[in-house]
Chain A
């Protein structure tokens, strides 16, 4: 087998592994972001209301309710560090994957 064929096969193998890794990262991204948004209170703000014995109705919090809730929950330094670290991991992962893709394609 010629060197060019081996090189092409190697590149194709690398590309496939990178594609697998990218798919895994892309699949995990929404879950992580949803967890991040829910934990810091900037995500969906649905509350269940309704009378006892009846099916609960889900609705968005009003602005006043939102402000009250924010005033009650004070984040700690550990929360801040954890959230910033999670973001740094995501930025780092995107940068690492991006560099690998760009090295293969550009």
Chain B
């Protein structure tokens, strides 16, 4: 599996996990929501680690004269990172099942729940914008996947 394929697969997994996390009552149930949340943190860390060369490269370019698209992309990704971090931390703080089951005290403060819900809701819009800015990459990855599939199919036909 190439690095590109790993990144694309991870992004799809992240999107599915994100969708499941967004409506805990209807899709996962609240207990499983917290387990999916833990898995999401792992995927999120790997996603950031795999994008590290882009992050450091962009920071370097921002110091020079970067084009507006790069600036907007960086600001959007930074907002996404901070919002995801807030949602994750507040999620841990208001954990109802996982952390209490490990005998860790969590907060019952409705304000923390509101912070968790609000950031999660606004993340929907920011994820949409993130997809918009990376649309060409997504399209390219999909096209590459489809081309590989069709060439594999052709190879399979010629073998038989």
Contacts and interface: CB of A to CB of B under 8 A. Distances in A.
22 contacts: A29-B125, A33-B124, A40-B24, A40-B27, A41-B25, A42-B117, A43-B117, A44-B110, A80-B23, A83-B22, A84-B20, A84-B27, A87-B22, A88-B19, A90-B124, A91-B128, A94-B126, A95-B132, A98-B131, A98-B133, A102-B72, A105-B68
A102 B134 CA distance: 11
Interface of B: 19-20, 22-27, 29-30, 68-69, 72, 96, 108, 110, 117, 121, 124-129, 131-133, 135
Contacts of A92: 128
- Sort A-B residue pairs by CB-CB distance and give the 10 closest, nearest first: A94-B128, A40-B25, A98-B132, A83-B23, A41-B25, A83-B26, A98-B129, A79-B26, A95-B131, A95-B128
Interface stretch (A5-13, A50-58, A62-70): A62-70
Given A75-B27, A80-B27, A99-B132, 10 more contacts: A36-B23, A70-B25, A73-B25, A84-B19, A90-B125, A91-B124, A94-B132, A97-B132, A98-B131, A99-B135
A84 B132 contact: no
B96 A98 contact: no
Contact of B27 (A37, A63, A67, A83): A83
Nearest to A76: B26
Interface of A: 29, 33, 36-37, 39-45, 60, 62-63, 66-67, 70, 73, 75, 79-80, 82-84, 87-88, 90-99, 102, 105-106
B124 to A, nearest CB: 5
A78 B96 CA distance: 25
B25 A87 contact: no
Contacts of B27: 40, 75, 80, 83-84
Nearest to A61: B110
A74 B133 CA distance: 38
A95 B25 contact: no
A33 B127 CA distance: 15
A39 to B, nearest CB: 7
B129 A94 contact: yes
B132 A102 contact: yes
B26 A82 contact: yes
Contacts of A106: 68-69, 72
Contacts of A39: 25-26
Contacts of A60: 110
Contacts of A105: 68
B24 A33 contact: no
